[in-house]
Amino acid sequence: MSALFSPATLRGVTLRNRIVVSPMCQYSAERGEATAWHMIHLGTLALSGAAMLFIEATAVEPDGRITPGDLGLWDDATEAALKPILAAIRQHSHIAVTMQLAHAGRKASSHVPWDGGQQIAVSDGGWLASAPSAIPHKEDETPPLALDTAGLIRVREAFVATAKRADRLGIDALELHAAHGYLLHQFLSPIANQRTDEYGGSLENRMRFPLEVYDAIRAAFPADKPVGVRVSASDWVEGGWGIEDTIAFANELKKRGVDWVDVSSGGVSPKQKIPLEPGYQVPFAKAVKEATGLNTIAVGLITDPMHAEEIIESGEADFIALARALLYNPRWPWHAAAQLGATVEAPPQYWRSQPRDQKALFGDISFGQR
């Protein structure tokens, strides 16, 4: 049996394989509301054969958006916009749907990537970002507003409110975004956090707010539904957050019953120097798994099915998350299953597509309203 296509259980959620669709920002929402693009995009990926689909980083408040086009879930309108998309997915796929809860912090109020990604000035329709400290992401940017006690409470409550809305929508699991230089990562990293109160300075203090947010959403989300956390295992900058810090943070999350740690890296500083190569972040996932025993998700230029199989089979990680590879080839799990002699889920409308030498590829799977 293929390790990549072996089942796994996370609390009350059973996954048919170890392939995860990574959250990918689309910058195509309107006022935080999902659009027809999200129906097409998420619908396509829901039929990929992966076991779990992560909805893109979803802002918990308007000021927490990276760009004006970010998806959000903070009011009745943003909640209503997601309902038909989730209903369509549920009708035609058994894929587990996870939402990544996010706040951009000091990286908020930016243009979409294809328009340059630079900060939008308040005078040009942007907004003043908030962060642990009044330190801009780039030297030429407007400094963010340092969150005071009231601001910390507001943000924490926004995460809780979004978690409750996600549950009402029938979302199967949550992932707390504490990576890629966004707000919770900013609290963790000494590069972005230079506070002198109980939320800054020591590692224990810098972990305090992210752990408070995790505790709050875990308490607000049903106990039978899993909650994971995405982390940046290294800032790739001297003096920044590193793998030993990540392990310490993961151990604190373990005490709180976290269901997985999604191990990425970078994002908190434009000075980062990342040596890109296939699987370059897998050693981080392996280190966290070995040190804590937690479920880990490996990410980062994993495109070859045999490479993915080896990562799972060797125990370096428990799941593989794909992003760009699935945009380029939305049927990547089908091809991987064919190569590894496994079966994969597919809608009956597509069963006739399987090659003559792969008659067992789709197995005997029935679909319909779940």
**In terms of C-beta density within 10 A (0-12 exposed, 13-18 middle, 19 or more buried), how is residue 295 classed?**
buried
Phi-psi region of 342 (alpha: psi -120 to 50; beta: other; left: phi over 0): beta
Active-site hit among 182, 199, 280, 350: 182
The length of the chain in residues reads 370
Cβ atoms of residues 259 and 206 within 8 Å:
no
Looking at this protein, which amino acid is placed at residue 189?
S
3-state SS, residue 247: helix
Question: Residue 38's closest CA among 100, 107, 84?
Answer: 84
Supply angle C-alpha 90, 92, 96, rounded to 5: 45
- Separation CA 370–CA 367 (nearest Å): 8
Both tokens of 48, joined, read: 């990929």
Separation of alpha carbons 252 and 67, rounded Å:
31
> Hey, what long-range contacts does 334-339 have (CB within 8 A, 24 or more apart)?
334/48, 334/49, 334/361, 335/305, 336/4, 336/5, 336/19, 336/305, 336/308, 336/309, 337/2, 337/5, 337/49, 337/361, 339/305, 339/306
Task: Enumerate residues 6+ apart whose C-beta is below 8 A from 123.
Answer: none
For 172-200, the DSSP string reads -EEEEEE-TTSHHHHHH-TTT----STTS
The answer to whether 19 touches 4, Cβ cutoff 8 Å, is yes
Handedness of CA 211, 212, 217, 222 (dihedral sign): positive
Name the token pair of 206. Answer: 């810098």
Is 27 among the catalytic positions? no
**Closest of 195, 181, 27 to residue 111, by C-alpha:** 27
The set of catalytic residues is 182
